[in-house]
Amino acid sequence: MSEKKWYVIKTVSGQEIKVKDYIEREIQYQDLNDYVGQIVVPMEKVIQMRNGKKYQKEKVHFPGYVMVEASLTGEVPHVIKNIPGVISFLSATKGGDPVPMRPSEVNRMLGKVDELAENIDTMIGTSYITGDTVKVIDGPFNGFNGTIERIIEDKRKLEVMVLIFGRKTPLELNFTQVEKI
């Protein structure tokens, strides 16, 4: 039996989890467990604000892609390509042979999966810069646009200058209450 390598499968965007489940079922059904290892859909946890409440949601990190550890021998590539939602294997040329991921990419991808699952607070982002224009997406000023005047890193807050009734008004908002425009 040949060694398993990691490959990237292009899928219909939004169908990544379904494709993963289909592949797992098909591999089980056709008794190909010796040829296919892990099937990974890298997910990230994101925080969304709805009606002033924080909701944690998982989002696909690479929409349209599923990573699969497999030994592409015999029927295996054919079985995977015929799964509903699968477009093709990632290859160097259109319709060419699937190109395995480099070990460094695999480690980065697997490391990223763990990282994305863990550090949710840093995912909310500290990528704001003074002078950025932001839109308020939560709270009483929902829908207003403003300019970041000051970033209060330790409190994870922003001081945003918003035009309310023709007057500039400073608001102190959480990082989660705004989004970049």
Average pLDDT, the chain: 85
CB-based burial of residue 66 (10 Å sphere; 0-12 exposed, 13-18 middle, 19+ buried)? buried
User: Region 60-74: what's the mean pLDDT?
Assistant: 91
pLDDT tens digit sequence for 8-64: 999 999 999 999 999 999 999 999 999 999 999 988 777 777 777 777 788 888 899
User: Region 68-72: what's the mean pLDDT?
Assistant: 93
- Span of 13-27, 108-122, 123-137, 160-174 with lowest mean pLDDT: 108-122
- Span of 44-58, 83-97, 121-135 with lowest mean pLDDT: 121-135
Beta bridge partners of 11: 86
CATH of 133-180, one of 2.10.240.10, 2.30.30.30, 2.20.25.190, 3.30.360.10: 2.30.30.30
Note every long-range contact of 119-127, with CB atoms under 8 Å and residues 24 or more positions apart, other chains counting.
120/45, 120/46, 120/47, 120/56, 123/44, 123/45, 123/46, 123/47, 124/47, 124/156, 124/175, 124/176, 125/175, 126/151, 126/153, 126/156, 126/175, 127/180
What are the residue ranges spanned by the domains of the chain? 5-123, 133-180
Architecture of the domain defined by 5-123: 2-Layer Sandwich (3.30)
Residue 39's pLDDT is: 93
Nearest to 77 by CA among 88, 64, 63: 88
Residue 123's pLDDT is: 45
pTM over 0.75: no
